Amino acid sequence: MTDEQAHKLRELVFVNTRGNLRLPWRVQTSNALRRIGTDYGDGDVLRAVIQASDGQPDLLAPPAVLDYIVAAQPLIVLELFERRERAWNAIDLLRNKIEGAARTFAEAEAMRCGWSLTVEQTHKLRASALAIPEEARRPWSVQTSNSFRRIGTDRGDGNVLCGVTRSDGQADLLAPPGVLDYIIAAHPFVVLELLDQCACARQALDHLRHKIAGHDEAFAEAESMCLHAGQEVP
């Protein structure tokens, strides 16, 4: 994950935490139709519609919702978890190698406090990302050929999320198992918290380097733990 991708994701989080989108998302299934909405709207986050012009099924969402879903796809979120854990593991390594800096390490550790992401939310987000079928774990993109929108990979047209027309003429969402649950778990506020946790971990490591002189070998080892050529996603 590049810094540019992280910046884009953070921007999309803020765009998608306005109005009703700030509220918890859930899969709504009344009338046997699937859509994603909040307690204040029916399918107000994402739903399928039938285009009046040509009868094709399409996805309807507030501006930037589809871009956010792509930016916060499982590949990215799993890498954020790994970045966070690598940074704190590096700090633990330094704590074991450097003596006499307990106060400085306590200052760094304090940067970890005050997080609002619960253990349950963390587990649900990670588990949902890992539950995505293998064929849907490739980089996602919004596909718009033929003037209708869907989300797919380089190996499938709308193979992550698309609208379909049922036998009764109603528009419905179609997705591989786990995809809708993942989108719910990756609510913008949850991903924003994860981004902040990664930034805090990096700041804590920089704080230690600034405060503790010498120990270049230990810091070099810690830095190498944080290096990860993550899979870039378009």
Count of beta carbons in the 10 Å neighbourhood of residue 96: 9
**What's residue 37's pLDDT?**
94
Mean of the pLDDT values across residues 152-175? 93
Which range is most confident: 31-35, 37-41, 123-127? Answer: 37-41
Mean of the pLDDT values across residues 42-66? 91
**What's residue 233's pLDDT?**
40
Q: Is 70 exceeded by the pLDDT of residue 234?
A: no
Rounded to two decimals, the pTM is: 0.82
Helix axes 188-211, 102-110, angle to 10 degrees: 160
- Beta strands 171-174 and 156-165, pairing class: antiparallel
Confidence of residue 215 (pLDDT cuts 50, 70, 90): confident
Q: In what order do the strands lie in the sheet with 35-38?
A: 26-28, 35-38, 41-50, 57-60
Confidence of residue 230 (pLDDT cuts 50, 70, 90): very low
Q: Is 90 exceeded by the pLDDT of residue 205?
A: no
Q: Is 80 exceeded by the pLDDT of residue 153?
A: yes
pLDDT of 88-135, one tens digit each?
Answer: 888 888 888 888 888 888 888 887 765 566 778 888 888 999 998 888
